[in-house]
Amino acid sequence: MRQGKIKLGEGRSYPLILGAGIFPLLAEELKKNFPAHNYVIISDCPVMKLYGGELFSLLRKNRLGAHLFDFPAGEENKNRKIWEQLITRMLRAGIGRDSLVIALGGGVVSDLAGFVSAVYMRGIPWVAVPTTLLGMVDASIGGKVGIDLAYGKNLVGAFWQASAVYMDLEVLRTLPRLQFKNGLAEVVKAGLIKDKELFALLERNWKRVLRLSLSELEEIIWRAVRVKVRVVEKDEREESGERKILNYGHTIGHGLEALSGYKLLHGIAVSLGMRVEARISNLLGYFPEAELKRQNQLLFQLGFPSRVSGLLAKKLKTRSGKEQFMNYLYKDKKVRAGKIEMVLLREIGRVKRSQGSWTVPVEEGLIERALEEIL
């Protein structure tokens, strides 16, 4: 078992616990460390069926007040309507400020449940219990919570840190293969931006990782978590800008997600985004061709597609589709003075800094040229 803390300003911190067999101990942990009048379990429907009832029973056995609130799975349901429905249901159930939200699920659940807790009665505490790899290495850590709009991803939200994050490796055994891959993209990203040893570890042991070797998974997940923790501790609210490096592959990736109507999984979109942004880094003379090939080779070995396909590919090959895609990029939160900016690589494990900034302005023509990497 691995235990650590994320340390924030003003003496604030919260624990991160990773290991096998944590889930059955949750009720006792919460009762001891986070006493509340009611524990509100928020999850999507599939995860609620797998784990919601079990957690509810554990809480009840410990004589704790417990409530279950679910919603349809999928990024398309991380929206204002579902967010408002959850808040309304909590009000009808009489949930007070002396309650605690448990975000039980993947990235969508963490974002949505965290945002519910951030605004409910002006803020109540929450605990993350991620059941996906994406949730463990990304969404549950760092306090970014929010919902999507038709204009783009995560455009409404808040910085609202969890009180704790409990990560049980055993739950990954019930994760569909595609969802496992969805989170693996963020692990690769962590290595590329700030941990070359993590990247090398993935290169050496990718077969064991895909076979869900728990010892291997514990090591790569903990290293990826530590990358995010180190960045967030330095720049909790993106004030110094270093937190932007966590968005490597995401500028292009979020655009692809939006263009697909959020049918493209986040991790798949980010893997494609990393291919494009690495090519941009290369075309600008920052990222050597050999390093780019290492990145793409690992993505291929882990089973990520090298090209977009289907309707999304057809859209990107039309002028109107490319214009729509560019419009999504201009709504990205990293846009400055009307210019698209991206996190680019200098080498594996290190991003490119430009005039003190963690992002680099990129012209439209260069983006279109680099998009050929995935077409």
Give the up-direction half-sphere exposure of residue 304: CA atoms within 13 A in the CB hemisphere. 30
Q: Does the annotation count 37 as an active-site position? A: no
Q: Which of 75, 186, 291, 373 is catalytic?
A: 186
Q: Does the annotation count 219 as an active-site position? A: no
Question: How far is residue 298's CA from residue 304's CA, in Å, rounded to a whole number?
Answer: 9
Ramachandran bin of 343, using left for φ above 0, alpha for ψ from -120 to 50, beta for the remaining angles: beta
Q: Does the annotation count 228 as an active-site position? A: yes
Q: Which of 266, 275, 279, 352 is catalytic?
A: 266
Q: Which of 189, 194, 228, 275 is catalytic?
A: 228
Q: Does the annotation count 186 as an active-site position? A: yes
- Give residues with Cβ within 8 angstroms of 278, minimum separation 6: 287, 292, 295, 296, 345
In contact, 329 and 251? CB cutoff 8 Å:
yes
Q: Which of 67, 78, 144, 223 is catalytic?
A: 144
Q: Does the annotation count 238 as an active-site position? A: yes
Q: Does the annotation count 250 as an active-site position? A: yes
- Backbone CA torsion sign across 71, 111, 135, 324: positive
Q: Which of 250, 275, 279, 352 is catalytic?
A: 250
CB atoms within 10 A of CB 126: 28
Q: Which of 32, 63, 92, 122 is catalytic?
A: 122
Could you give the 3-state DSSP secondary structure of residue 143?
Answer: coil
Q: Does the annotation count 89 as an active-site position? A: no
Q: Which of 78, 153, 254, 352 is catalytic?
A: 254
Q: Does the annotation count 307 as an active-site position? A: no
Question: How far is residue 131's CA from residue 109's CA, in Å, rounded to a whole number?
Answer: 10
Q: Which of 238, 339, 346, 350 is catalytic?
A: 238
Q: Does the annotation count 254 as an active-site position? A: yes
Q: Which of 247, 275, 291, 334 is catalytic?
A: 247
Helix (H), strand (E) at residue 146? strand 144-149
**Would you give the DSSP letter of residue 12?**
-
Q: Does the annotation count 247 as an active-site position? A: yes
Closest-CA residue to 100 (of 121, 119, 138, 126): 126
Q: Which of 78, 243, 334, 352 is catalytic?
A: 243
Catalytic residue positions, numbered: 122, 144, 186, 228, 238, 243, 247, 250, 254, 266
